Each structure stands twice: as structure tokens, then as C-alpha cells.
Structure 1
Amino acid sequence: MPLQAIAQEAGISRSTLLRRLGGGRRELDAAVRAAGIDPGGQKPVRERAVEAAATLISSSGLASMSLERVAASAQCSVHSLYAAFDGRDGLLQAVFERYSPIVDIEAVMSSPSADLRTTVRTIYERMAIAVQREPRVMPAIMAELLARPQDEALQPLVRYAVPRLFAGVGKWLTAEIAAGRIRDLPLLLLIQQMSSPLVIHLLLRPATTQIPDLPSPTIEEACTVFADNFLRAVALPAPPENR
């Protein structure tokens, strides 16, 4: 953006703007970068940082995601990361929002199909997309949870993601129980029964598909089978129509 346009937007002359900037736009560009936006035509700092953090998590684990390493990879300053995310926890939440299925699943549940099977099948599709998405953020996070559940690096994400999960998926399942469509089971176990078979299949799939002569269903087939199995386990028969 030319200085003339900036001056016009600010309601001052170009010469006044240059005088306030000390004769050039270097100080202005530095201030813009500090606010989390790169004036050089690159992607915004926020987007570059999320992508850089996701790549680090996928390749080296969650503990590798320091603000210093993210800043170096995203070609920005640590100060810019604080301006954009208010610290490491905010950046980690932004990565989770981008690479987990939570946002897509919440969208499905906000307008669920009248057909319970279709809703469950669609949720499984969104889960499959997220777990397989590159960089492989979700498998890396799940591996850390299994190997080091007490790791301090994980706790901010756990405190953010678990309540979010119960507020979304848990609320939907509770409504399905109240409507008499699924069994009244402990909510945590119900969520785990719904998600675990497909997630385990997706995590092991890169290895099992390398085994010669081992039949491997497509992702679509796996989603259908696991959705049907889940409903066979928890769905209640429809009540008879009133005569």
C-alpha cells in the first residue's frame, strides 16, 4: 500500500506522515509486523505461524513447538506471535482449531440430519479427514497423550479441548438420549465408544496398508462399518406410531 493512500486514510498529508515516520516507512512496517501482519506480501503472521507450528508438531512432537522455533520457521518475531496469539497456549489452540475435526463436527451437529445414521456417518467422515490431514497433527498429539499423559506441554490443550468436546458432541449425544434415540450410557464412555474404533483404525492404517495381501477397506467403507456398529450398540428401536 503506497504511503499516499495511508496518509489519506489517516487524514494527514504524505509529508506529515513521512515526518512522523522519521523519513521512511521502515518504522511503520516494523509496527505492522509487531501487530501480527507482514507488510511484505507474505501470508499473515497468524497463518504462517499456525502452519509452522503444525509442521513442527507433526515432525518432532508437541514439545518441539516453542515460540522461538515457530518464529524462526514462520519468519517472524516472537513478539509478533504474542501479538497474534497471546502466547504459546493461544497458538496451540489455533493449531487445534485448524487441524482437528472439532469445527467441522460442530457444524454437522448444529444442523443434524433427521436420520441418526446419516449424522453419525458424516461425523465419521469429518474425523477421517482430520486424522489423515497433512501435516499429521492429530496423530502426533494422540501419540503424546498415550505416551506422556501428564506432560505439562499437553495440559493447556487438554484443558481447552475436553470441555469443548463435551460442550459439542456431549450436548448432541445428551439430546439424542433425551429424545429416546440412543441408550442412556455414561457420556464419556459413549463418546469413546463412538470415536475410538475409527480413530484406532485411522492411526494404524498407514502401517497395515503396507502389509502384502492384507485386505484393506477404503476410508468410506470403514466409516460406514464403524457407524453401523456404533448404532447397533447404542441406538434404540423407534417407538411404534400411535394408532
Structure 2
Amino acid sequence: MTGATDAAVTPDLVEAAVRAAERLGKDVADVPVVAIAREAGISRSTLLRRLGGTRHALDDAVRATGVDPGGQSPVRERAIEAGAVLISGQGLAGLTLEAVAAVAQCSVHSLYVTFGGRDELLHAIFDRYSPALDLEEAIAEADGDLARAVHGFYRVLAATFTREPRIVPAIIAQSLALQTDEGIVEMARYLGPRLFGGLDGWLRGEVDAGRLRDFPTSLLIHQMTGPLLHYFLFRPVGEHIPGLRLADLDQACTVFAESFLRSFALPGD
């Protein structure tokens, strides 16, 4: 192959995208992400994580090899990415169909045809950028190893807070400021069961298996997420306090994971 691929896109992903396009008889830009992931032998969430949440890098990498990826991405893909950028920069209030249409270079009518309305677009953005699938993968890969699962949990959560577009930090910031905001309530109704339902089931299973102390799973979730959430809320201010040395992210994740295990894992696990 000629040219150089984007640093985040390895040659195997480019080749998988081209094979998937040939198999489906479509341009690369029109091949669903899930089909490319299947061709590459990885999960959809893993592929999106490697691409930084957007397929633009993949299309650019394909183009750099001399293969034309095709025209613009479908309206659905452009709208989801545009909506994520708007939420990251302006919060949920910035997610209007008019604003999304302007950024995605499409019509408001096409958004209604594709999604049905703002709420459905919001759901699609949450499904794309929420950590739910990544957390499920980290827990499944631990294969019953509680310590490995807890460390994986913190790594996924840290990645969620730091990667662009910064959807989760924007939602948390707005939820702290406007707890009854219509968008926040809708997010809780839709995303809550998908995210916290999986965590609740996993933690309850660990309690039943005798690996975790028998506390309400809601408190266990608070104990797991609270320290890292506070770390990210405090860090932007703490960086400007003279003489204060802040732990780096890797160290923070390790310390928080070990602290949780010491507090709640039963002896012998």
C-alpha cells in the first residue's frame, strides 16, 4: 500500500474496511462500523475506541492508501458526530436539530427522517459515546477475576473522561448545575438503565459469589465512581494551586482500584 495511514489507524483496520466494502459492494464510507469491526475480528466498541469515537480517521487512512472511500458519510453518522461535538462544547442545550444540521451539512428534514426527533438523536449519541459497552467488555475480559475487573473498570472510566468529544464530562457538569434540566432527565431515563443496570448486575453477582462484601450495589457503585469523578472535577483547579503535586491519571486509577478492593473485597479474593 502507498501513503501513510493516520497514527491511530493501523493497516489491519484499513484492510478490513476495504474488504468489508468489497464484500458488501459499497463505498468504504457507506459500510457500517459494525461490519468493519466484524471484518477486523474485534467488537464495535473496540473499533470506535481505536478510532477515537469517529470514523473520519479511518476514511482518511483509506484515502491515504490510494483508495477512494466514497462520498460523504451517511446523514446518521454525520449527525451523531456533529451532535457529540455540540454537546462537548455547549452541553445538552447546544443540541438542537438546527445546530446539528448546520454542522453535519444536512437538512433538518433529513434528521427527522433519519431519527424521528431530537430525543432519538440523543439516544444514538449516548449509545455511541457512553462507556456502557466498554465497561461490559472490561468485566467480561476479567473472566471472574475481581481485581482485574475493578482495575479495568477504572481504566475505561478514565478513558471516557479524557477522550474527545468529551460527552460524559459535559453531561456531568450540566447535571450538577441543572439537575431538573429536560435533557438531563431524558439522559437519566435512557442511559441510566443501560449503564447502571449492567454494573448493578455485575456487582450483585460478585456479592453472591462471595467475592465482595454484602453492601447495597448502589453504594458500591458510588464507592467505585466517586473518587475518580472527584479527581477529574478537582484537577482543573488543583493544577493552579502552588506547591500541590497532583497524581497522574494512571497512578490515580491504580490507587482508587486498590482502595476499593481493600475496602470491599472479601479476604482471599
Q: TM-score, with normalisation over the residues of structure 1?
A: 0.77
Q: Over residues 177-220 of structure 1, what are the superposed CA-to-partner deviations in whole Å (9 max), with x where a residue is unaligned?
A: 00011011112111111111112212332332344432122211
From 194, 198, 205, the equivalent of 1:164 is 194
Question: Match for residue 211 of structure 2?
Answer: 181
The answer as to whether partners of 1:183 and 1:235 remain within 8 angstroms in 2 is: yes
Q: Is the 8 A contact 1:182 1:236 kept in 2?
A: yes
* Matched residue type, 2:267: P
Q: Does 1:94 align with 2:107?
A: no
User: Hey, what's the Cα distance between the residues in 2 that align with 1:230 and 1:199?
Assistant: 14
Equivalent runs, 1:49-88 vs 2, <5 Å: 49-88=79-118
- The one-letter code matched in structure 2 to 1:57 is I
Q: Say which of 243, 252, 259 aligns to 1:213.
A: 243
Correspondence for 1:120 among 150, 155, 166: 150
SS in 1 for 2:142: coil
Query: Pick from 103, 118, 121: which aligns with 2:133?
Result: 103
Residues 1:234 and 2:264 aligned together = yes
Report if the CA contact (8 A) 2:97-2:108 is conserved: yes
Matching residue's letter, 1:180: G
Instruction: Indicate the residue corresponding to 1:25 in structure 2.
Output: none
Q: Which amino acid aligns with 1:146?
A: L
Deviations 1:90-144 (A, max 9, x none): 2112222222211100112234334311111111101101111122211110011
Rg larger for = 1
Q: Give the CA RMSD over aligned residues.
A: 1.9
Conserved 8 A contact 2:131-2:195 = no
Distance in 2, Cα, partners of 1:212 & 1:100 = 35
**Matching residue within 215, 218, 225 for 1:195:** 225
**Rounded Cα–Cα distance in structure 1 between residues aligned with 2:210 and 2:102:** 53
SS at match of 2:183: coil
Q: Secondary structure of 2:197's partner?
A: helix
- Structure 2 spans left out of the alignment, 5+ residues: 1-24, 26-69
**1:21 is matched with which residue?**
none
Q: Does 1:148 align with 2:178?
A: yes
Partner SS for 2:251? helix
AA paired with 1:139?
P
Aligned partners of 2:133, 2:103: CA distance in 1, in Å?
Answer: 26
**Matched residues in 2 for 1:204 and 1:43: separation?**
38
Instruction: Tell me the amino acid that sits aligned with residue 170 of structure 1.
Output: D
Aligned residues: 201
Distance in 1 separating the partners of 2:256 and 2:187 = 27
Unaligned runs of 5+ residues in structure 1 are: 1-8, 10-39
Say if 2:136 is the partner of 1:136.
no
- The alignment status of 1:41 with 2:65, answered yes or no, reads no
Cα distance in 2 between the residues matched to 1:174 and 1:110? 15
Structure 1 pair 73/159, CA: closer, same or farther in 2 (3 Å)?
same
3-state DSSP of counterpart to 2:126: helix
Paired residues of 1:131 and 1:203 also in contact (CA < 8 A): no
Are 1:197 and 1:226, in contact at CA under 8 Å, matched by a contact in 2? yes
Secondary structure of the residue aligned to 2:93 is helix
Matched to 1:76, the amino acid is C
Query: Aligned partner of 2:90: which letter?
Result: S
Please give the secondary structure, in 2, of the residue aligned with 1:43.
coil
* Residues 74-103 of structure 1 deviation map (CA, whole Å, 9 limit, x = unaligned): 111122222332321121122222222111
| Amino acid in the other structure paired with 1:183 | R
Counterpart AA for 2:198: G
Segments of 4+ moved more than 3 angstroms: 210-213
